[in-house]
């Protein structure tokens, strides 16, 4: 090993000169970077100022022209924190559909698998002839059992040739010519609940078929799902439907098992929050309570779905059906008729065709009403309420007791000013109360029945 190396004078001078030169070069580069950053920052600030001015000018121009800006979610919070909507808007799927809850008819509750194209056509005819279509019931939805028991040689779903001999294209044309929309059913599993072919791993093929047939709505069920989490199984069909270029309402039927309100808003337009409904008082009331839990997640673009209506199917009294319809309307639930609309009783039609109750469901503010207070044995005297556009409030006095009871809605619990007068519209009697009310609103309510009202500051309401 050699000893230390001696560096001679000229070499030191050269090294020193090189280091100084590099140092000066580095200083110049740093200076250029500073100037560049300063210039970028200045441009960014100028852009922010420009955008701010543009927004202000747009707002002022809109106000001057009298055009109403899209409703802000803050508008729904003015009543009180009771009607919290803080979770709405975080997730909603922006496909332009479901600005209000869907309305229409579904085949399952009354007909189950006993369906064919004649039934679907006659149902479309009845929706139009009865005037229900004119009230907003515009989806004609075919549930399970419409397809053959196996796919064709190309791996595509095909309608059952016996029950739907004309095919889905022809049926969609018929429904569309009535001014209505056609809905269809499939499953996020390998089979549907009635063991027809499911769409799991066939999402793109099936979505293309639905779009080519002119389908407007898909109910997507949860059977035979191979144990795969819903969060993994439902988005592929969303993507497949979107890729077709056709606007198709996407209704998730996951039964509420994996709390879809927490995640399904970025996947579909509505999501089942509960198990299937049955035509009994207990089933209907239990499901209403379950759905109430998720109220803050519903809003324009995506809705909680406590399942279809049982009104008219015979398992409940007319009072109970009136309660069912009122609470579903207040909760901004889908209003999907589940009875045979070709053969409705007068009482069934009167419930389903109540324009004033439907208007609560379809109100543009889109805030789900909820349970406000309970009293009495087993909390059977209940007040449910929800804010509406125009500073109004929908209030429902619901008697779940076994005898008639007096129920009172206290305005302070509703987030209303207890010192102001409010005019009252009775939505089932279709009349205004003669006198305004202050502080509270009460009435006697018959067994398992409801009273439903709209309250409004007296200066802003006139009789309908």
> Of the candidates 357, 312, 315, 349, which has an alpha carbon nearest to the alpha carbon of residue 333?
357
- Catalytic choice (259, 276, 417, 432): 276
Distance CA 447, CA 439 (A): 25
Distance CA 326, CA 318 (A): 12
Q: Is 121 exposed, middle or buried (0-12, 13-18, 19+ CB in 10 A)?
A: middle
Judge whether 125 counts as a catalytic residue.
no
Judge whether 276 counts as a catalytic residue.
yes
User: Torsions phi, psi of 383, nearest 5?
Assistant: -120, 125
- Catalytic choice (221, 279, 292, 305): 221
Active-site residue numbers? 221, 276
């Amino acid at each position: 090993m050699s000893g230390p190396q001696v560096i001679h004078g000229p070499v030191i001078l050269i090294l020193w000169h090189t280091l100084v030169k590099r140092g000066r070069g580095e200083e110049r580069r740093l200076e250029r970077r500073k100037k560049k950053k300063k210039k970028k920052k200045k441009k960014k600030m100028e852009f922010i100022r420009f955008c701010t001015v543009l927004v202000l000018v747009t707002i002022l121009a809109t106000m001057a022209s009298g055009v109403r800006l899209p409703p802000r979610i803050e508008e729904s919070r003015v009543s009180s924190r009771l009607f919290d909507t803080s979770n709405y808007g975080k997730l909603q799927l922006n496909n332009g559909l479901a600005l209000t809850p869907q309305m229409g008819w579904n085949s399952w509750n009354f007909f189950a698998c006993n369906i064919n194209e004649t039934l679907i056509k006659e149902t479309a005819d009845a929706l139009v002839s009865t005037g229900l279509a004119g009230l907003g019931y515009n989806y004609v939805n075919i549930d399970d059992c419409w397809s053959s028991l196996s796919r064709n040689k190309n791996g595509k779903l095909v309608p059952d040739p016996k029950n739907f001999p004309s095919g889905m294209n022809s049926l969609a044309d018929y429904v569309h010519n009535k001014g209505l929309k056609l809905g269809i059913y499939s499953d996020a599993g390998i089979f549907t609940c009635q063991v027809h072919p499911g769409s799991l791993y066939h999402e793109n093929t099936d979505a293309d078929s639905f779009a080519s047939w002119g389908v407007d709505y898909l109910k997507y069920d949860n059977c035979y799902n191979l144990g795969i989490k819903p969060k993994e199984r439902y988005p592929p069909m969303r993507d497949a439907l979107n890729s077709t270029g056709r606007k198709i309402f996407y209704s998730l039927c996951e039964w509420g098992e994996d709390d879809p309100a927490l995640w399904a808003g970025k996947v579909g337009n509505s999501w089942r929050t509960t198990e299937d409904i049955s035509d009994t008082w207990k089933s209907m009331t239990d499901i209403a309570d379950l759905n109430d839990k998720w109220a803050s997640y519903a809003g324009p673009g995506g809705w909680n779905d406590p399942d279809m209506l049982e009104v008219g199917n015979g398992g409940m009294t007319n009072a109970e059906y009136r309660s069912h319809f009122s609470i579903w309307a207040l909760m901004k639930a889908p209003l999907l008729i589940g009875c045979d609309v070709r053969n409705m009783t007068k009482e069934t039609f009167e419930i389903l065709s109540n324009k004033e109750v439907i208007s609560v469901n379809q109100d543009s503010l889109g805030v789900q009403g909820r349970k406000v207070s309970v009293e009495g044995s087993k909390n059977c005297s209940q007040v449910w309420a929800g804010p509406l556009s125009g500073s109004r409030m929908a209030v429902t006095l619901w008697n779940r007791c076994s005898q008639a009871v007096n129920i009172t809605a206290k305005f302070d619990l509703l987030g209303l000013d207890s010192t102001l007068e409010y005019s009252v519209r009775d939505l089932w009697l279709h009349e205004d109360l003669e006198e305004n009310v202050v502080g509270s609103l009460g009435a006697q309510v018959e067994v398992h029945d409801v009273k439903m009202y709209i309250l409004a500051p007296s200066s802003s309401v006139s009789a309908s």
